[in-house]
């Protein structure tokens, strides 16, 4: 056995191939409570631009932790632009605790023409090879081989926090000049719990902003906006394609003329692709049926100060990440059955809908096409203030304005040419430069 381990170590050092786990590890590593799994290297992922869900899916012979103090390997990724317009990703592995002193630095050079899918696969491949030297010093070593065929599977690990993660933040922003001043305050708190069977998201947010404009020596215009909200989502996994959930929210906003708005909506979702493939492809159909109760700060254009109504919505979301590029598009429609405002309206005037799309397509080497946009048909502005908005309301955007549509669009081409072998990094005078022609319309 020792000779076999030495042979594997030599292969790891001298072979360019990336070594993965033996399929037999599937039986050696049950989903929870396993001694081998408990002794697997603990990794903390410290990067803002990498796809962490993809890494967790592709590299499964380590344990991921959210606290760097609990980690045995601190993975830090930084990046710099190369002379050819690509990106050099530096992957630094810092050993801690039982791996103290075992540090490594790896590099992945991404061409400018690479799509996100190609880049993240390359980063995962390099990181996978770097983590193997740590795994060889654990009981998992005898299960490491040239290939790992076992599909990634979510596993349960004993956690004294029971998978709950909390985050609290408060921020302020002050700016001004002689005639204008503004102050903003933001606060939020979230609590999330995600397991293979359950997904729970709870959040609380509060915003306050005040703007002052000195029109002349005798006139000052002030604009104040306040909003608070609390929301929750509970999702239960049913199968590889089905999920059920319950969402709810409570909010108040001066912008929408809402003193309180309570929403409760059960939902069901079907994904055409298995959820295990979510980092690569999704086609989700989600239906919600909700109950809404609103109290308004001022009387609305429908002569209401409060009301309760039923809503239903259907959304279709497509997300693809392939070597040729990526697509993200969502179509969502909402309807309010039995609402008095629908009387005498055609079906098209009863349904509010939004279409959003984004496509990044690599046409050929160096040439890419990008397009993004959305269009909304709006027929559900229930809280509009009776009497309309004043001139100050319009100019300062203090209130929601009456409309039946909104849109935005952006598209363009990018083309890069020249040497593809200039992987040298020179950080002097910043990272500006390169030879890129961009045509935007």
Taking only the tens place, the pLDDT of each residue in 159-188 is 678 888 889 999 999 999 988 999 999 999
Least confident of 5-14, 183-192, 270-279: 5-14
88 in a structural domain: yes
Residue 32 has what pLDDT? 39
- Quick check: 432 pLDDT over 70? no
The structural domain count of the chain equals 1
Structure tokens at 164: 């709950």
pLDDT, average across residues 14-31:
41
- Quick check: 18 pLDDT over 50? no
Helix axes 2-14, 116-135, angle to 10 degrees: 140
63 in a structural domain: yes
pLDDT, average across residues 418-433:
56
How far is 348 from 90, CA to CA, in rounded Å?
53
1 or 341: which carries more pLDDT confidence?
341
Q: What is the pLDDT of residues 348-392, one digit of tens each?
A: 788 999 999 999 887 876 688 999 999 999 988 888 888 877 787
Residue 63 has what pLDDT? 86
Q: Quick check: helix, strand or coil at residue 54?
A: helix
**Residue 399: HSE in the Cβ half-sphere, 13 Å Cα cutoff:** 21
How far is 45 from 54, CA to CA, in rounded Å?
12
Q: Yes or no: say if 330 and 315 are a contact pair by the CB < 8 Å rule.
A: yes
Range of the domain at 87: 2-145
Structure tokens at 5: 């381990």
List phi, psi (to 5°) of 298: -130, 160
Torsion of CA 271, 272, 274, 275, to 10 degrees: -20
151 in a structural domain: no
- Quick check: 238 pLDDT over 80? yes
89 in a structural domain: yes
**Residue 220: HSE in the Cβ half-sphere, 13 Å Cα cutoff:** 10
Residue 267 has what pLDDT? 96
What does the mean pLDDT of the chain come to? 82
pLDDT, average across residues 58-62:
86
- Quick check: 10 pLDDT over 50? no
- Quick check: 146 pLDDT over 50? yes
Residue 66 has what pLDDT? 77
- Quick check: 12 pLDDT over 60? no
- DSSP codes, 265-334: EEEEEEESS-GGGTTTEEEEEEEEEEEEEEEESS-BTTS-SEEEEEEEEEEEEEEEEETTEEEEEEEEEE
104 in a structural domain: yes
Q: Yes or no: say if 330 and 313 are a contact pair by the CB < 8 Å rule.
A: no
pLDDT, average across residues 12-22:
40
- Quick check: 145 pLDDT over 60? yes
How far is 93 from 80, CA to CA, in rounded Å?
18
Confidence of residue 86 (pLDDT cuts 50, 70, 90): confident
pLDDT, average across residues 56-60:
84
97 in a structural domain: yes
185 in a structural domain: no
Q: What is the CATH number of the domain that holds 71?
A: 3.40.50
Contacts of 166 (CB under 8 A, 6+ apart): 189, 190, 191, 192
Q: Longest C-alpha distance within the chain, in Å?
A: 90
- Tabulate helix, strand, coil % of the chain (nearest 5): 15, 50, 35
CA 292, 293, 296, 301 torsion-angle sign: positive
- Quick check: 31 pLDDT over 60? no
Place of tokens 């300062």: 396
Across 172-204, b (16+ Cβ under 10 Å) vs e yields: eeeeeeeeebeeeeeeeeeeebeeeeebbebbb
How far is 18 from 11, CA to CA, in rounded Å?
10
pLDDT, average across residues 211-225:
86
**Residue 168: HSE in the Cβ half-sphere, 13 Å Cα cutoff:** 0
Across 33-50, b (16+ Cβ under 10 Å) vs e yields: eeebbeebbbbbbebeeb
How far is 161 from 331, CA to CA, in rounded Å?
37
Element (H, E) at 25: helix 25-28
How far is 122 from 128, CA to CA, in rounded Å?
10
Strands (E), 297-424: 306-322, 325-335, 352-364, 367-377, 405-416
Least confident of 68-82, 276-290, 330-344: 68-82
- Quick check: 429 pLDDT over 90? no
pTM: 0.71
168 in a structural domain: no
Q: Quick check: helix, strand or coil at residue 114?
A: coil
- Quick check: 275 pLDDT over 80? yes
Residue 380 has what pLDDT? 87
Confidence of residue 423 (pLDDT cuts 50, 70, 90): very low
């Amino acid at each position: 056995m020792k000779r076999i381990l030495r042979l594997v170590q030599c292969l790891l050092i001298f072979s360019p191939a990336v070594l993965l786990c033996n399929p037999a590890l599937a039986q050696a590593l049950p989903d929870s409570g396993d001694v081998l799994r408990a002794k697997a290297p603990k990794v903390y992922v410290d990067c803002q631009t990498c796809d962490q869900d993809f890494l967790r899916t592709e590299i499964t012979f380590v344990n991921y932790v959210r606290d760097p103090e609990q980690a045995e390997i601190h993975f830090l990724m930084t990046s710099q632009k190369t002379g050819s317009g690509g990106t050099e990703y530096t992957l630094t592995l810092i050993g801690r605790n039982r791996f103290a002193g075992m540090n490594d630095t790896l590099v992945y050079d991404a061409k400018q023409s690479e799509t996100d899918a190609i880049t993240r696969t390359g980063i995962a491949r390099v990181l996978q090879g770097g983590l193997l030297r740590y795994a060889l010093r654990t009981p998992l070593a005898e299960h490491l081989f040239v290939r790992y065929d076992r599909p990634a599977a979510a596993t349960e690990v004993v956690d004294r926090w029971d998978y709950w993660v909390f985050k609290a933040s408060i921020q302020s922003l002050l700016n001004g000049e002689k005639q204008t001043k503004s102050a903003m305050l933001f606060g939020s708190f979230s609590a999330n719990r995600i397991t293979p069977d359950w997904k729970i998201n709870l959040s609380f947010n509060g915003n306050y902003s005040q703007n002052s404009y000195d029109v002349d020596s005798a006139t000052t215009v002030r604009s104040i906006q306040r909003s608070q909200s609390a929301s929750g989502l509970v999702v239960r996994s049913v199968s590889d394609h089905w999920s059920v959930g319950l969402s709810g929210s409570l909010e108040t906003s001066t912008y929408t003329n809402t003193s309180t708005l309570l929403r409760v909506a059960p939902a069901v979702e079907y994904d055409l692709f298995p959820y295990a493939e979510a980092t690569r492809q999704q086609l989700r159909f989600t239906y919600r049926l909700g109950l809404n109760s609103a109290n308004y700060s001022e009387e609305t254009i429908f002569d209401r100060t409060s009301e309760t109504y039923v809503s239903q919505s259907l959304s279709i979301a497509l997300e693809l990440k392939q070597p040729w590029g990526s697509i993200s598009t969502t179509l969502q429609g909402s309807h309010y059955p039995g609402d008095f405002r629908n009387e005498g309206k055609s079906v098209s005037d009863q349904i509010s809908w939004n279409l959003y799309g984004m496509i990044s397509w690599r046409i050929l080497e160096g040439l890419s096409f990008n397009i993004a946009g959305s269009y909304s048909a709006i027929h559900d502005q229930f809280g509009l203030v009776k009497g309309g908005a004043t001139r100050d309301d319009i100019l300062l955007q203090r209130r929601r304005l009456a409309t039946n549509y909104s849109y935005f669009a952006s598209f363009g081409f990018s083309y890069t040419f020249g040497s593809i072998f200039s992987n040298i990094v020179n950080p002097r005078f910043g990272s500006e430069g390169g030879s890129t022609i961009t045509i935007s319309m």
